[in-house]
Amino acid sequence: MLEEYIPQHHQVAPTQSWNVEENHNSNS
């Protein structure tokens, strides 16, 4: 459920925004 609304709140939630982007960057 969290992952379902996370993308929608991507712009509203800057904390998770960079958190998800950083995770992808580190994974890559």
Residue pair 17/10 in contact by the 8 Å Cβ criterion:
yes
**Phi, psi at 7, each rounded to 5°:** -60, -35
Burial of 8: CB neighbours in 10 Å, binned 0-12, 13-18, 19+: exposed
* pLDDT value, residue 27: 57
Residues 1-28: tens digit of each pLDDT: 566 666 665 556 566 556 666 666 665 5
* pLDDT value, residue 12: 61
Helix, strand, or coil here: 15? helix
* pLDDT value, residue 26: 65
Contacts of 11 (CB under 8 A, 6+ apart): 17
* pLDDT value, residue 10: 55
Residue whose pair of structure tokens reads 């995770």 in the numeric block: 23
